[in-house]
Every structure is written in C-alpha cells, then in structure tokens.
Amino acid sequence: MIKTIAVVGRDEDAWLTALMLQLSLGKSVQPVEVTLVELPSNVGAQDFYATIPSQRAFHELLGLSEGNVLSAGRGVQSLGYRYSGWTGDSSAFFHVYDTAGTSLDGIDFLQFWTKARHRGLNVALDEFSLAAAAARRGKMIMLNDQTSAYSHANHGYNLSALSYLKGIAKVALAAGVKHIVAEVERIRVKEERIESVLLKGGQSLEADLFIDASGDGELISQLNEGFRRWDQWFLCDRAIVASAERLRPVASFNQLSAVHAGWLGLYPLASRTGVTMQFCSRHINNDEALGVMNAAVGQPVQEPKLLALEVGVRTKPWVGNCIAVGNTAARMDGLEGVQLHVLHTALSYLLTLLPVTADYDLERNTYNTRLSGHIERLRDFQLAHYSLNGRHSDPFWRACAAVELPEALKEKIELFKARGVIAMSESETFQEESWNALLTGCGIVPDSYDPLVDKIPEDHQIQQFQRMLSFVAERAEQMPDMETFVQVHDAGSYSKGLF
C-alpha cells in the first residue's frame, strides 16, 4: 500500500501533479502523504501556456472553474489555430476545435465536400465550420439549441505562466500539500529503486513513490532510463519566447505563420501577446530569428528568451518506484499546445494504476504502454504539419517534407488521400475533425469519396451546402466579441473563488 509520495520537480508539472495527488489521495479513507520538493523555476515573465480543450476538464477535476483559471492566468480562450504560409502561398487555413458541416443521410460531410471539390467547388472545408467563422470575425462561440445541433465547438486556453503558477501553488498549499524548496544533492538508488533523495541543506526524503516532474529527468535518469530524441523528425532545435503588446481587439485564435527556417506564433493573452519562434539553427542564427520576430510584430519584442529544443520521449516513463510525468515523460514540439495534455494524460493513468500492493509490475507496464501510445499519436499529429508543408523553395521546409514518417502516420495520410477516411486508434487525442482540418488545410483532396454520396441528388447537395454556409455566416455574426470576454475575466470578476 502506498502511504507516501514525493513529487520532485518544478513549475507546472510539479505543482499540478502535487495538487492532483493531494486532492485525489490526501483525504481518502487511507490518506497518502504528498510532499512537493520544488526545484528552481525555469519560468520567466515572457512564458505562457497554450492548451487544448481537454484542459478545461482537467481543471474542473482540480475544482477550478474556467473563470478562476482565466483570471488567475491573465488568460483568454482560444478557438484554435490559423496557419498561414504553410502551403507555400499566401493562403491560410484554420484548425479549430469544431466540426465542419453536418452529415447528410448518415454520410459524413467530408465525403460530400470531396465530391464537390472534384466537381469544381472552390470553398475550403473550414468555411463550413462555425468556430472558424467566429474566429475570422473575432467572436467567441456561445452555443444554443440550434447551433449545438450543427457545431461541437470547444476552446482551449492561453495562460500567462507566472500568474497561473502562483494561483495553482496557492490552491495546492491550501489543499494540504507539504512543500519544500530545495535542490537535489544526491539520489540513493538500490536495485533499480530510489531509496531516498538527499537535498542540499542535509534533509533526506524517503517515499514509497517518487514522481519526477523535473523536466530533465533528474530522478529517473539515475535508474538508467534514457531519453530518446526525435531529431530525425523534428528539425527545429531552437526557440525564442517573448512578449509583445496586447492585441486590440484580441483575436479568438492563435496565429502560426511559416517563415523560411521555422515558424512564428502569436498567442493572445489578457494583458499582452505571447510570441514564440521555433527555428532550425542550421538555416538561421539566433539574431536573425529575433529579427524575424521583431519584423512580424512591428516593433522589438519584450524580454526575449532563447531556448534549446530537445523534442523526444522517455523510453520507459515508469521505472522501479519512480514515475516520469509531463516534460520528464515527453518534451513535445510547440505546435498545437499539447504539452500540458501530456501531463494530464500521465496523471490520469497514474491515478488509475496507483499500486495497491508491493508488486506492481503490471501497473508499471500498463502505464508505460498506454502513455507511450498517446505520446506517439500526439507526435504524429504534430509531425504531419511539417511533413505536408508546401514551401518547396525553402531548404528547411524541403527537409521537413523529406523525413521518413512513422509507419502509422504514413498509413493514416495515404488512407485519407485515397478515401477521405481517418484510421483512428484508441490512443488519439485529436479526433477525425482535427485530422480533416489539418490534411485538407495542407492541400489534400481525397482521390475518391463514398459511392453512397451519388444516391443523393446533386441539386439537393448544392442546396444543403448553401444552407450550411448561410447558417454559419449568420450565426457567427451574432456571437459576442472576444474582446468582451477578455475584459470580463481580466477585470477579476471571477477571482474571488479558489484563487
């Protein structure tokens, strides 16, 4: 029976892990003592977190309302991403957290759209998405009975890291997490298990389980567990994170623009704009990359911070009595804001598989297999962005398009090209509508469509297309401005809750 858990780490991985464990186990019938050893922070004033919609449910599990999270994190909601320049021309496409179109006679809308494209339709798939239409207009989605029958729109968050972490730490301490601020002096290991962690200052910490939330594997690396880099797939090895002036009015999406040796992201926040650039140092140096950022923003960015990127995965995130979570388990590419989701997934599996006996080989193997599967599917979704780019005149982007893809991703793309069907696995985070948005946005029109489409008269199909486009435009125009939402949350009207 597990009686003590030590979380050793920093920043979001450490605080969120300690809070989740304390809320789930700290006051159970047989309570588990949760101790957090907080290592020196890596977070600066320029840092921010971009998240996907799953983080809404994650924070609800922590007892944190959306209003509290946004107010504490000086954050905004995001309907998704707008990609510009990725296809090699001036066009752009949206990946929003929403469906596009509705099925007709039980047949997926994408099949009708594919036929229409073969017949000359020049309307992108995202034009049929209510969330994309709202994003184009600077609106926020508010679904009612009519719109929810058409759209499944959702949203993620953009959060200022420092203010968000202060709020999470306050909640964790109030929940009863034991807190030690220290650095690790030495780790005692015996028979592939951590016996204790000796902290600078002389304190020795023992526990039944050790959670490595350090980001760099400070604990789990002592158990001879390596980190497998994905340099063969992800060619960006540097990033710059900075701030810029707040967008007015604020956008309801994140903007990702391809540049000649990487990409530039603009992330709206309540009081500023988060700016990041990922790039390949073989094609552009640090000063040149900063110049690209400044030119895109229109003025020098504030507090730029240079980072070395090491995208990859821990081969076995659970070894002995040490469990890697978050950045320690996998460091993802910056596309699509999935890093916090890795932490969320790891904690979900950990709580489900928490050992109840001294022999927990089965739980450990299951954790390793399932978490690795989720991480690989996230990797594939990110990798498809690079692989399917159309920037053939740029050496960096040509190299991205030439990488040998993992077999599962290769088969997924080929099946979609042939039939307009996504081969989904149980480990997927992004569902069919996200894959449809990405693959069609990158210029893929499937070669064929479901023959059942031809049984529906073409004039009826055309009428339905026109009806959907009119409905989307009219309803999106009626949505509230995103600026209104930001002003409400930034005014702190929800900040009297848990934060």
CA 456 to centroid of chain Cα atoms:
39
Instruction: State how beta strands 80-84 and 254-259 pair.
Output: parallel
Annotated binding-site residue? 336 = yes
What is the CB neighbour count within 10 angstroms for residue 63? 13
- Residues recorded for the chain: 499
Distance between CA atoms of 257 and 266, rounded to whole angstroms? Answer: 9
Distance between CA atoms of 243 and 405, rounded to whole angstroms? Answer: 34
Annotated binding-site residue? 313 = no
Bridge partners for 264 per DSSP = 257, 277
Nearest to 271 by CA among 75, 38, 484, 112: 75
C-beta pairs of 348-352 under 8 Å, 24+ apart in sequence: 350/211, 350/323, 350/325, 351/20, 351/21, 351/24, 351/25
Annotated binding site for FAD, which residues? 184
Annotated binding site, which residues? 184, 336
Annotated binding site for L-tryptophan, which residues? 336
